[in-house]
């Protein structure tokens, strides 16, 4: 059976950054269905387009580089695919790169980079960063109240620095998961209110097939 695998880069801006991962999946399902493209669909009772994301995006995080892949059952010129999709996307979602990849390829995120703009920057922020980076372990708790577990996110912290008033964060992405920007802000000693007022943007999502 013929398979054309399409890889799409897109931006998430404005109010769309507050969509959950599941809401974003539903939005893309609708856009793909309405595009008129010859989609390859899943089998079973709940039939939907065959698609996958390189990495889930946290609620409230804007992004300059998200990656999505889906499959077509017939060949379509990539420029035609881009035009058909762009007509179906709402404000706040913008297409970037779009190309065909081998059907066997899968977009796997290996590193995520973030820019974090704080409403008010602590005077001793550089010292806090240096102290955090000097630590060998950085345990955080995850899960619901009934199923709490401790995770060491220090091996996932690839870089953290101040630049022109913003925090620049680089996080490793592994099969078992990645860190969350809010966890790093909490480790830096920012209160829940200070973290809520921060603006987080995923600036780059590096892929490894």
- Report the pLDDT value the prediction gives residue 148, as an integer from 0 to 100: 83
- Report the pLDDT value the prediction gives residue 1, as an integer from 0 to 100: 75
- Report the pLDDT value the prediction gives residue 95, as an integer from 0 to 100: 96
End-to-end C-alpha distance for the chain, whole angstroms: 23
| Beta carbons of 78 and 90 less than 8 angstroms apart | no
User: By C-alpha distance, which of 118, 121, 66 is closest to 92?
Assistant: 66
141/70 same-domain check: no
Residue 38 pLDDT > 80, yes or no?
yes
- Report the pLDDT value the prediction gives residue 176, as an integer from 0 to 100: 84
Q: What is the pLDDT of residues 108-121, one digit of tens each?
A: 999 999 999 999 99
Based on the structure, what is the number of domains in the chain? 2
Residue 165 pLDDT > 90, yes or no?
no
Share of the chain above pLDDT 90, in %: 83
Q: What's the CATH code of the domain at 171? A: 3.30.70
| Beta carbons of 110 and 158 less than 8 angstroms apart | no
- Report the pLDDT value the prediction gives residue 119, as an integer from 0 to 100: 92
Q: Whole-model pTM? A: 0.92
| Cα-to-chain-centroid distance, residue 37 | 25
The mean of the pLDDT values for the chain is 94
Which of 71, 101, 131 delimits the end of a domain? 101
Q: What is the mean pLDDT of residues 139-153?
A: 85
Tell me how far apart the alpha carbons of residues 170 and 40 are, in angstroms, rounded to a whole number. Answer: 35
Residue 43 pLDDT > 90, yes or no?
no
Q: What's the CATH code of the domain at 54? A: 3.30.70.580
Residue 83 pLDDT > 70, yes or no?
yes
Q: What is the mean pLDDT of residues 94-105?
A: 93
Q: Which domain holds residue 168?
A: 109-207
97/113 same-domain check: no
Q: What is the mean pLDDT of residues 84-106?
A: 94
155/82 same-domain check: no
């Amino acid at each position: 059976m013929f398979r054309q695998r399409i890889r799409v880069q897109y931006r998430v801006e404005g109010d769309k950054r507050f969509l959950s991962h599941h809401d974003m999946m539903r939005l893309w399902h609708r856009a793909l269905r309405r595009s008129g493209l010859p989609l390859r669909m899943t089998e079973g009772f709940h039939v939907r387009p065959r698609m996958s994301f390189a990495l889930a995006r946290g609620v409230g995080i804007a992004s300059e580089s998200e990656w999505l892949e889906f499959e077509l059952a017939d060949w379509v010129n990539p420029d035609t695919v881009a035009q058909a999709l762009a007509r179906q996307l709402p404000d706040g979602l913008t297409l970037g790169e779009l190309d065909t990849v081998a059907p066997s390829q899968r977009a796997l995120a290996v590193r995520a980079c973030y820019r974090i703009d704080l409403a008010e920057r602590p005077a001793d922020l550089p010292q806090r960063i240096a102290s955090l980076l000097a630590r060998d372990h950085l345990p955080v708790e995850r899960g619901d109240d009934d199923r709490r577990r401790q995770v060491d996110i220090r091996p996932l912290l690839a870089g953290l620095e101040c630049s022109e008033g913003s925090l620049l964060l680089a996080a490793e992405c592994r099969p078992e998961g990645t860190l969350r920007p809010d966890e790093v802000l909490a480790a830096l000693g920012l209160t829940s209110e200070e973290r809520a007022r921060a603006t987080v943007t995923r600036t780059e999502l590096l892929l490894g097939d």
